[in-house]
Amino acid sequence: MVDANRFRPRLEERLAALTSKLTEIDEDLKEHGTEADFEERATEIAGDEVLEGLGIQGQKEIGQIKAALKRIDDGIFGICVQCGEDIPEKRLELLPQTPLCTACMSASG
Ligand SMILES: [Zn+2]
């Protein structure tokens, strides 16, 4: 059994970072007039489609992180939601919000 609370600050930090990033993306999508600001970021971000993709990806990750925080509260963090086995701690270090163990993740693609 992993020490779930050890992962909580990391998850909360990531959640806060994603939330502010998504707010930023949202504003970028709304503001097409501010070319200068937009161009500054153009090397990283290639256009609205990419922005929207990031937004969708971010929303998905936010959902996973919130679910992971709930699992910490429920005392079931680090347990695979699919097969009920412990998720290896090494895997949680890499991806603390994951709900699946390595075997179930590869099984689900
Ligand atoms: Zn599993």
CATH for 40: 1.20.120.910
Helices 8-30 and 48-74, packing angle to 10 deg: 150
Distance of CA 90 to the CA centre of its chain: 18
Higher pLDDT: 49 or 90? It is: 90
Which domain, by its residues, includes 28?
4-107
Going from the Cα of 53 to the center of ligand 1, the distance in angstroms, rounded, reads 28
pLDDT of residue 108: 73
Closest CA to 14 of 76, 65, 56: 65
Q: Is 93 in contact with 74 (CB distance < 8 Å)?
A: no
Q: How far apart are CA 26 and CA 101, in angstroms?
A: 33
**If you measure from the C-alpha of residue 87 to the centroid of ligand 1, how many angstroms do you get, rounded to a whole number?**
7
109 C-alpha to center of ligand 1: Å?
A: 13
Average pLDDT over residues 68-97: 95
Report CA(105)–ligand 1 centroid distance (Å): 7
Which pTM value belongs to this model? 0.78
* Mean of pLDDT values over 38-60: 74
Q: According to the model, what pLDDT value does residue 54 have?
A: 83
Number of structural domains (the chain) is: 1
Residue 80 Cα to ligand 1 midpoint, Å, equals 5
pLDDT at 93: 94
- The arithmetic mean of pLDDT across residues 10-28, rounded, is 93
Give the mean pLDDT of 9-25. Answer: 95
